[in-house]
Every structure is written in C-alpha cells, then in structure tokens.
Structure 1
C-alpha cells in the first residue's frame, strides 16, 4: 500500500571544501549501477577494522584498531586503539577496501573521514559539521554507497486548536546527502510528513538503502496521549517504509505492510538490503519478521517470521547483514526473556530469505548485542563478526555462508574484554 505526500521544500548545498585532497574510494564489485550500498563490504580489504566500546551505558568511549589478519592471535585494547570522537557511542562505517573509516560523532554533530594506516594509526582526512544543516547534534546516518552517505532526523511538534485541544502531531523529516570523497554537503530536503491513524506520528527514521533511484528508510512511530500529555509506544501500527527519490530526496511516499506491525528502523545494525534480483528485504524489530518490497511496494505474499523458523516463541532483532545469494546473518534475542544486559539472551542465526529458513549458530551463551553495528565478508568469502559474552573474552568468528550447519564457523583471534565493555563489530 502506497501513500504519497507533496514535497514542501528543498535546497541544494554544494559546499565543496578546498582541502586539496585527491582521494578516491576503492570500488566494490557488488555495488549496483544505482548506487546501492553494499552491506557488508566484500572481499578486498587491506585491513579489518575492529571497533570496541568501553561502556554499555550509551556514553561509551569508542576505539578502533586496523589489523591485516584477524583469523588468529589475540586482540586487546589495553593501551591500544585509536579513540574515535563521539559524545555517545560512535556511528561508524568502513569503506569496502578497509582503507577508510567514517564516523558520525553522535551528540557532537560532526562527521569525520580517516585514512586507515594500520594498528592504532588513523589519519583524519576530512570533516564536516552537519549540526547546522540538520538542526540537531543528534542526527542519524547511513553510508549508502562508496561515494555517498545520508544523514537524517525527524522534528515533531504537537498541534492544538484555538481552545487548546490537541489536534495532531506535526512531523518533519530533514534529509541531507553527503559526498564521502571530501565530506561535501550536497542535496538537502525538508519534508512534512502526514499524520497517521489514532494519533500515530513518525518520530524516527534510519538505515536507508538505495535501489533503482529510490531511498528506502525504516520508520518508528509513537502515539500521543492527550490525556497524559505523553507519548506512548504501542507498536500496533502497520510496518512502514518511507521512500524518496534519490539523489533528489523529493517525492515523499510511504509503503505500509499488511503482514507485520511496529518499528522498521532498527537501531545500529543495518535493516534494509537490496538483493541480486532487484528486490528489497527488511526486518521488523519485535516480533522479528523479514518483509519484501518488490516493484516499489510491499509484496504481501511474503512474510518470513524468525520465531517460527527458529522454533521459538518470541524473537526480536535490531537488524541483519546480507552476504549475497539470499543468505544473511541476524543477531537476535529471545523476546520472552528480554533484550537487556540482565537477560543477555542473544544469539546469531544464519537465514535464507528465499527459502525462509533459519539456523541458530552454536555460539557462546550470555551474549548482548544491542549495540552491535557491523560485520564484513572477508577476502576468503567468510563472514566475520566480533562476538564476546558479557564481561568475558570472546573471538572473531568466521561464518561459512555456504553451509546450513549450526557449527559452520571457524574461531579466529581471541578478543580481550572488560566487565562493562563490548565490541561494535568488524568494519
């Protein structure tokens, strides 16, 4: 089901910084000709960037190390690592080659580009302040191709009539395109979002992907209760995707699923992926279901319920990683136990989106992956993740996408860990 909205305002900003850089990103074989991002980056890394957070309370320090081999040995951040600047946990992306690292300082309103030199040695190449363009120091962002990233935020304001009775909540999306070569601010749009049924309004968007000249964003809604003056979060609304033309960031539309309810924006893990057939698959959070967008609308004949596939009662997830040929990996949690550190009821499943099957991998217990951000397909075709139980040592895991066995992985380098620290992933 498609809803359209009239475009209200648009500005193009071309602030090409005269910083004298002549750098170009390495190409990635699986980027399609429409600029769709490749998540995860595939196969030609010079370095694997391993990223570590020192507190699980949100305001964590974030550190990176660039390693040529993470299949063996020991990885420790004790006195090592490059501190990636951020007020809260950094939002990080790596280039397909592993030679560049990008960071949004969440709470600082800055985006940085670094040359990866190996070990703890990273050189800042460019930066841009997006706070003025976005109107907040807390936007979210996604690298959508080897050349561009999208930064986005939602502004909301409750509306009242002349008698001071609540009428609806006005939502406005601010969208900004970033050129990654020298962090240039490019297309920008400010779009008014229509209201939805029962006082639901969009309050967050994130994790867009690009396909066939469109940007598809995940959506979270809230419901305002005039009696209490508070927002509540009953995720009983239809799962929704926001779509705009790309790169223009205009022609606002909404797709709504008949098969699932609730949030589609994820958290820090990728959520939307395009496959080789030209379709888009995305995850809903809780219950965790894979939905399919085909020919620019939901294919309501498709609904992949992870709980059913895993033989569990309730499953939630923040996002997933697509590695190609219908195969992906999902960090998930047992929603009947909870998603917090106290429950630590997380695991990783290999999924086949075409056959709608899922296999829980035989990983250690006591995992908590709420902040987990990234995995990569390595030079050997294996999918690499950094996985540690809470407060314990962990390992790099190399999963074999070609195998359906729950033991289809090799254990790589050992990861040192602290009492309240975690690994954000491999980039």
Structure 2
C-alpha cells in the first residue's frame, strides 16, 4: 500500500478536466466570513420522501420561531441525496451523492452562493455514488466500495470488494491524498458466511488509526450474516489496512448518512444495525482492535427490541440514538429517540413523537443541551414537527422542550448543521 500524491502534472491536468470551479480565489464569495458574526444553523429537508428534492435553509435561533422550506431555502437538487457538513469558518459543504460533486457554499444575509464544485468520481473508480465524511476542520474523506464479479474458486465467493479513499482538503476543496486501491481479502468469516463487503462509511479517527464501519451482503440468502466488522487504517497516512471482526454482536456497522461510531474517553464506540430478531449492541475499539472486555447490550438496557443506523454523541458519553421500533403502529413513523449513557450502560426511550429518522444526519450540542429535529410525516406530521431540545444531564424521558417549529406533512428533516 502506498499513498499517491497529486504531484504528477499529467494526472493533475487530467483531473482538472473534471474539476469545475464556480469562482476563483479572488471572488469575494470565496473569502473567509467576518469574525464575531452570529452562529448560523443550516437545516436540510427533503419533500415527500424524494431524495432528489432537498432544500437547505438557515436560522440563527433554534429555540423559537418557525422555519418553512416551502418556497424558501436553497434547492440543492442532488441526483440521489445530499450530505451536508459545516466548518468553524462558516462554510457549508454539500456532497451530491449520485452526481459525485463536492460543493462549497457561502451564506450571507439569507442567501446561499455556490463558490466551488469538484467532481471526485474520476478518482473514485469512476463512480459518483460515493460517500463523504468530515473528519476535522481540514479534512473531508470520500470513500467507497466497488464490488466486482470474480470467478468462484470453489469457496462459494464470486465477489471481490475494492476500497477507495480520497482525502479532500477544506476549506480549499482540493484533492490532497488518494489511497491506493485495496482489495479487501475474503476472510474466514466471509467464506463461511458466503458474504462480501459492499459498503464502508462513518469513519472515526482515534490516535493514529481511522476506523470504518462495514456493511456486508450475503451471496446465499439461507446463511445469516453474523459478527460486527471494521476496517482499520493508519491515519493520516491511509496505509496498512486491516479487516477485523467481533462476535459479540451481529449486523452492519456502516450506519446510514449519519454517524455510527464515536471517539470518546480513549475508545471508538460502534453500534450495529441489528438484523431481525437480533440484539442492538455497542462495542468499542482501541489500538486497531476490538476490546473484548467490554460490550453494551442496548436492547437489554432498554427492555424493548429496536434497530438503529445513526446515533449522535452529545458530549460526556451521553448519546441520542435514532431508534426504529418495528412494531410501531404507524409504518411511516417507526422511529423514536433513545438516550444512551456509555458510562453507565443505560438506555432511555425519550417521549418525543415517532417520526422517520432513517436518513437523519446530524444534531448539535450547545451549553449542555442537544438539538435534534423530529418531524413526523404523513397525517401524523400535522402536529409536533419541532427542533427538540434535550437536557443532556437529565435521565427523565420528558427532559426536553420544543424550539423552532418546522413544516408539517411530508417534510423529512435530515439534520441540523
């Protein structure tokens, strides 16, 4: 494995054929925002469950007032879906999943301006359906798995998975490093389960390692998928990849648009997307391996079966988890919010309305409170669509207030950024 830097004139010239800049560095829209400006929160939402109809609007106060996306906000119009990130300088970054573009926006006086756009598909195996993740104030990683057909060598495996990772420098929005393509080996557990890696996402850095959650698919529907899996690389070099497993839980660990791993108190904590009838678990990793001495059975702690694909660290080991309850009466609103305490291994179902949080991406913590949009859809969505403000320190399931009111009906709020 080696790291390929963009110092080759030939490669740089080819790359520039795909890079589209909407402005140059002299454009006033591309300058850093002024200091001491009020913090702005950006909220993204989609209409009627259509991933290609995503709007973004901004507010300065999440505690009161109302925000409508109808006839308001900026139409992102992604090919498939939009992933949104912000930085401490006030820039907004949007990745067009399906289009393959990383876009940079400025925001001033209620108006968004696209100031840069870069096509990353050419360095990701030509695939625009790739996934981004902001690592820190200097880095967004773009990553993907391309599963390709291979000849079955008699072991029941006819898929090979190639992993791509590209490091994007922000706020410049430029390609900095490209990991050499890595073919993930078919380990014993894949051969036994006739499974292969089809997705990675939600990377989390701790020390000199970066941990990627793993999604696997079975080639034989009669063989259940088992185990929880991670791909670990040295960071920031993006070298020395390893594919590891724990048998303490079953289910995919890559999450879905939101975060599924969190670095806290010297460990990376990881949840599973529990398969039907399985237990929702949180495990932890350190120094590139699973910590076999620790496991948190969240299903047992809650006393009720549920699934998760995204959860959000509010601070101090307190997390809020998007939780799907399959037995919920309204099939359009099966998702609730569960407060997780990693320190004490407790789980509390918060008494907020059920909604659709499958694609929810992000909330924000401010002064001991966690802000998260909960917006029921369909007929249930005619009431209670608000930014919910949770008291991080309280274990009361009613320890929240409502703040900013949101659109009613078929508006799927995807996150606060």
Q: Does the TM-score normalized on the shorter chain lie above 0.5?
A: yes
Q: TM-score range by the shorter chain?
A: 0.7 to 0.9
CA distance, structure 2, for counterparts of residue 256 and residue 165 of structure 1: 20
Name which of 204, 214, 217 aligns with 2:212. 217
Name which of 392, 402, 407 aligns with 1:411. 402
Matched pairs, number? 387
Secondary structure in 2 matching 1:173:
strand
Q: Which residue of 2 aligns with 1:299?
A: 291
TM, length-normalised to structure 1: 0.84
Name which of 108, 117, 120 aligns with 1:117. 108
Would you say the 8 A contact 1:292–1:302 is kept in 2?
A: yes
TM, length-normalised to structure 2: 0.86
Q: Which residue of 2 aligns with 1:245?
A: 234
2:130 aligned with 1:160, yes or no? no
Would you say the 8 A contact 1:159–1:166 is kept in 2?
A: no
Q: Which residue of 1 aligns with 2:25?
A: 20
2:56 aligned with 1:56, yes or no? no
Name which of 347, 352, 362 aligns with 1:374. 362
CA distance, structure 2, for counterparts of residue 233 and residue 20 of structure 1: 56
CA distance, structure 1, for counterparts of residue 218 and residue 32 of structure 2: 45
Q: Which residue of 1 aligns with 2:316?
A: 325
Q: Which residue of 2 aligns with 1:281?
A: 269
Alpha-carbon shift at residue 294 of structure 1 (Å)? 2.3
**Aligned positions of 1:260-279 closer than 5 A:** 260-275=249-264, 277-279=265-267
Would you say the 8 A contact 1:66–1:118 is kept in 2?
A: no
CA distance, structure 1, for counterparts of residue 258 and residue 160 of structure 2: 28
Decide which structure has greater helix share: 2
CA distance, structure 1, for counterparts of residue 136 and residue 263 of structure 2: 12
2:386 aligned with 1:395, yes or no? yes
**Aligned positions of 1:161-200 closer than 5 A:** 167-189=157-179, 190-195=181-186, 196-198=190-192, 199-200=194-195
Question: Any idea what the Cα deviations from partners look like across 1:144-197, whole Å, max 9, x if unmatched?
Answer: 1111011111111222269x9965421110111100121111111211110132
Q: Which residue of 1 aligns with 2:370?
A: 383
CA distance, structure 1, for counterparts of residue 248 and residue 281 of structure 2: 9
Q: Which residue of 2 aligns with 1:127?
A: 117
Call closer, same or farther: CA 1:150–1:315 in 2, change over 3 Å.
Answer: same
CA distance, structure 2, for counterparts of residue 118 and residue 302 of structure 1: 49
Alpha-carbon shift at residue 209 of structure 1 (Å)? 1.1
CA distance, structure 2, for counterparts of residue 299 and residue 204 of structure 1: 23
Would you say the 8 A contact 2:351–2:398 is kept in 1?
A: yes
Structure 2 unaligned residues grouped into runs of 5+? none
Would you say the 8 A contact 2:375–2:408 is kept in 1?
A: yes
CA distance, structure 2, for counterparts of residue 46 and residue 424 of structure 1: 20
CA distance, structure 1, for counterparts of residue 309 and residue 34 of structure 2: 29
2:59 aligned with 1:70, yes or no? no
Would you say the 8 A contact 2:155–2:191 is kept in 1?
A: no
Q: Which residue of 2 aligns with 1:422?
A: 412
Would you say the 8 A contact 1:235–1:261 is kept in 2?
A: no
Question: Any idea what the Cα deviations from partners look like across 1:114-159, whole Å, max 9, x if unmatched?
Answer: 112243x112222211011112010011111111011111111222
Call closer, same or farther: CA 1:74–1:354 in 2, change over 3 Å.
Answer: same
CA distance, structure 2, for counterparts of residue 303 and residue 26 of structure 1: 46
Structure 1 unaligned residues grouped into runs of 5+? 1-6, 28-43, 226-231
CA distance, structure 1, for counterparts of residue 266 and residue 33 of structure 2: 24
Call closer, same or farther: CA 1:155–1:405 in 2, change over 3 Å.
Answer: same
Secondary structure in 2 matching 1:251:
strand
Q: Which residue of 2 aligns with 1:103?
A: 94
CA distance, structure 1, for counterparts of residue 222 and residue 77 of structure 2: 32
Would you say the 8 A contact 2:226–2:247 is kept in 1?
A: no
CA distance, structure 2, for counterparts of residue 278 and residue 77 of structure 1: 40
Q: Which residue of 1 aligns with 2:202?
A: 207
Q: Which residue of 2 aligns with 1:82?
A: 74
Alpha-carbon shift at residue 23 of structure 1 (Å)? 5.0
Alpha-carbon shift at residue 202 of structure 1 (Å)? 0.5
